[in-house]
């Protein structure tokens, strides 16, 4: 796990989200997308992504120095689904969840997405 690739629609979504939230870095947006998707216990549909016109993100950058934690989380999720943990599975799971999460985020209609995200996060925390 050193480089992660995302497809073109994810790239577009990221651009949109950047504009709507004011969060400048793709990695931060991707982290939230991943976690929001992981919070949903349903398994994302298995789709084969074509990464043409997409983007590449460095794994370490993406995890913001918390790669172990994210890997552990993915592993726990994979295990909870009764799958075997392997690097390929982890990558696959990660990519699916990120894409699904980005779609979730983009589909939110609030005017101020940043504040809404923060408030949702708060609500869950308390």
Partner 1 sequence: MAKLTILSISVENLGPFKERQTLELRVTGRRPVILVKALNGSGKTTLLTALQVGLYGHKAISGMKRTEYEQLMLGMQRKDAVGNSSVEVLVLVEIGGAPRTLTVRREWRRKGSDLIESLSIFEDGSKDLIFSDTWDEFIGSILPAELVQLFLFDGEKIEALANPERLPDLLRRATEVFLGIGGIEALGGDLKALERRSMLKNKDSSAEFESARANVASWEDQEQSLANELGNSIQAQASAKNVVEQAQRALSKYTAEAQRRGLAAYEQAASIRHTVVVSQKESEAARSALAEVLSDPVLPMVWLPSLWQRYIESWEADQHSRHSKLLAQEFKKRDQRLVAAMAQKLPKNATDAFRQALAEDLQQFSSKRPSNQPTLQDAPPKEAERQMEDGKKRLRQALDRLAATREDLDRAEQQIGQIPAEEQIATILKSLQERTKEATAAEAQLAAITTRIEELQTNLIHVRARLGGAQERLTTEFRDRSLEAKGLEASIRARKALLLFKDKLLASKAQWLSEMITNEFRNLLRKRNLVSKVLVDPVSYQVSIEDGKGQELSMDRLSAGERQLLAISVLSALIKERKGGRFPVVVDTPLARLDQEHRSSLIKRFFATVSHQVVVLSTDQEVDGIAYDTLKPYTNSEYSLDYDDGVGSTTINKTTAENFA
Binding site for partner 1 (CB under 8 A): 21-25, 27-28, 31-32, 34-36, 38-39, 41, 63-69, 71-73, 75-77, 79-80, 85, 114-115, 117-119, 121-122, 124-125
CB 92 to partner 1: min, Å: 16
* CA 34 vs CA 30, 39, 40: distances in Å: 6, 9, 10
How far apart (Å, rounded) are the C-alpha atoms in residues 95 and 113? 23
- State the sign of the Cα–Cα–Cα–Cα dihedral 79, 83, 88, 93: negative
CB 48 to partner 1: min, Å: 25
CB 22 to partner 1: min, Å: 5
């Amino acid at each position: 796990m050193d480089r992660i690739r995302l497809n073109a629609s994810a790239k577009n979504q990221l651009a949109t989200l950047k504009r709507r939230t004011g969060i400048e870095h793709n990695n931060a947006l991707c982290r939230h997308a991943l976690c929001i998707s992981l919070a949903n216990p349903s398994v994302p549909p298995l789709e084969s992504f074509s990464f043409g016109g997409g983007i590449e993100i460095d794994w370490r950058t993406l995890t913001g120095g918390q790669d172990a934690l994210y890997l552990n989380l993915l592993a726990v999720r994979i295990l909870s689904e009764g799958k075997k943990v392997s690097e390929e599975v982890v990558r696959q799971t990660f990519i699916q969840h990120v894409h699904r999460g980005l779609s979730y985020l983009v589909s939110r209609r609030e005017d101020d997405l940043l504040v809404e995200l923060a408030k949702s996060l708060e609500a869950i925390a308390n």
